[in-house]
Amino acid sequence: MKKELSLRSTTGWIGVAAPILALIVLQVAWTLAASAKPGLPEFSPVTFETEDGGTISGSLFRASGPLAVVLAHGAVFNKESWYPLARKLRTQGVTSLPIDFRGYGTSRSGRTGPTGRSLDILGAVHFLKAKGFKEIGLVGGSMGGAAVLSALARSDDPAVVKALLLAPAGGPPIKEARIEKLFIVSREDRLHPRVAKIFEATAEPKKLDVLPGSAHAQNIFSTPEGAKLTDLILRFLTGPTRGVARDR
């Protein structure tokens, strides 16, 4: 009789618990499936202060390697425009930080006003150094490229080891020989002559890649040359860094 009661109790508990367990399993499976959906960005929203009191927002795509890269957008873009590249960089072990310049998204200007974009770049470098990164690359397209050039002219931070200028819309040449430099521009881009002048005045080591077509800066990503542009960027950023010894 006792065995029968015990069996009935156990059977009753299973009958109550089974639907609950099934619901938990389904919820876990749904969560895992949702997180695995392609195209969902996996990043941490961050903010940091600039030297002149501005507040800049960014998205930190963490990876396992030693290099972290600041991604600086052009005038008609924003930080989200860099997300496809940021995802590819993460698979290659490169951390990236797309930022919104002051006046874009939730980013706000400091005392210098809207022209202080070079301070946004330097603020991003300081933020990444505070996170423990000792090797930092700067990537800027058009307006972002000009901001990178101006930032490098303002500060010679030894943590910055690479600079990629995608059709920079002006800015001073880079005089620091320690930094590896890659310039990319479309052959028929109206800024091609200006980019070539900046490149010529920039110190070695440097390289200029000229792509077919007339698309300007980040617009190249949406053209037939987009895959080649992505490959050039990935090769440059993931390649060995001159003068930097890494523990393997």
pLDDT at position 42:
85
Q: Quick check: 19 pLDDT over 60?
A: no
Higher per-residue confidence, 39 vs 102:
102
- 205 prior amide bond cis, ω within 30: yes
Q: What is the mean pLDDT of residues 71-90?
A: 98
pLDDT at position 241:
78
pLDDT at position 16:
41
Q: Quick check: 109 pLDDT over 50?
A: yes
In the structure, what pLDDT confidence band is assigned to residue 103 with cuts at 50, 70 and 90?
A: very high
How is residue 156 written in tokens?
Answer: 């010679």
Higher per-residue confidence, 19 vs 42:
42
CATH number for the segment(s) 44-238: 3.40.50.1820
Integer Cα distance of 128 and 107 in angstroms:
17
How is residue 76 written in tokens?
Answer: 């008609």
pLDDT tens for each residue of 140-155: 999 999 999 999 999 9
Q: What is the mean pLDDT of residues 78-106?
A: 98
Largest interatomic CA distance in the chain: 97
HSE at residue 27, side-chain half, CA atoms within 13 A, is 6
Q: Quick check: 82 pLDDT over 50?
A: yes
Residues 6 or more apart whose CB falls under 8 angstroms from that of 39 comprise none
pLDDT at position 6:
46
Integer Cα distance of 74 and 144 in angstroms:
5
Q: Where are the domains of the chain?
A: 1-37, 44-238
In the structure, what pLDDT confidence band is assigned to residue 242 with cuts at 50, 70 and 90?
A: low
Mean pLDDT of the chain: 86
